[in-house]
Chains A and B, each alone.
Chain A
Amino acid sequence: MKNDLPSQTEAKDALNAVHNIQQNLLIEYSPPVWLRLIMSLSYGAIFFGYGMTEHENIWALAMIVGAIIFTLSTALYYYLYKIQGIRIRIIPRSIKAEKINAYAGIGFAALGFLSRFLRTEMSLDWAPHICAATASIVMFWLLIKLPTGETVVKEN
């Protein structure tokens, strides 16, 4: 191969082919936006319910309903990919995806903690609203940018 190195133009064309086919696959086969919206909102409801729960009040129910809807919509998300011929990766293999998932995991854990702590210990009643909204937005962003859990969708 060393004696037969491609030119810069050929190398660029090959990289463009890699980029184009990956982006095409990620965009063309993405599940519908409404499903990703339901997943994000139900995920936020878990954080909101957790932050508002006190002595088993009605908000515990919101957390449970949010968890059920999130689980069902996630199952549908996986299923829609599978029937199209794509099995998405749960644990990422690329370093970039691993980093994004690690930061998101830490961020969600912090949001969960703050959602409850700020309201109960510091009397900041708006904390669950902000944390839930942030969790929903971050989850929606992850579902748009990292739909199969491995390769990032880039702007054209």
Chain B
Amino acid sequence: MPELDPIIHAPNRLRICAMLATSAELDFRLLKEQLDVSDSVLSKQLKALEDANYIEAKKRSYNGRPRTWVSLTDLGQSAFNNHVAALKSIINSD
């Protein structure tokens, strides 16, 4: 039976992983808009995921302006899938 991941279980981190799972990379700004949180709150959540090697953040400039692109690593994808499977198993348990 898959187990819940304590790093991903926090609501904002779960939503970050869910969004990252839909694409190759997402912009920091887009994540911030979708979560409706401040830069510092989002940075803190991303740092926790980055420390666990669940995400990668890369800075690239676009039209002369720096943009931070965030992606889910293979480990992060696997952890997210396991976490979702664990949630489903809780729902399906008697």
Question: CB-CB < 8 A to B14: which residues of A?
Answer: 14, 17-18
Report whether B91 and A15 are in contact in the complex, using a CB–CB cutoff of 8 Å: yes
What 0/1 readout, one digit per residue, does chain A (14-54) give for beta carbons within 8 Å of chain B?
Answer: 11011001101110010000000000000000000000000
Number of A-B residue pairs at CB separation under 8 A: 83
Q: Is B38 on the interface with A (CB-CB < 8 A)?
A: no
Question: CB-CB < 8 A to B57: which residues of A?
Answer: none
Interface residues on A, range: 20 to 34
CB distance from B54 to the nearest CB of A (A): 14
Whole-angstrom CA separation of A24 from B88 in the bound complex: 21
What are some 29 contacts across the A-B interface (CB < 8 A)?
A1-B3, A5-B4, A6-B87, A8-B91, A11-B90, A14-B11, A15-B87, A15-B91, A17-B15, A18-B14, A18-B15, A18-B84, A21-B15, A21-B19, A21-B34, A22-B19, A25-B19, A26-B22, A84-B30, A85-B26, A86-B23, A88-B23, A89-B24, A93-B77, A148-B22, A150-B22, A150-B24, A151-B21, A151-B22
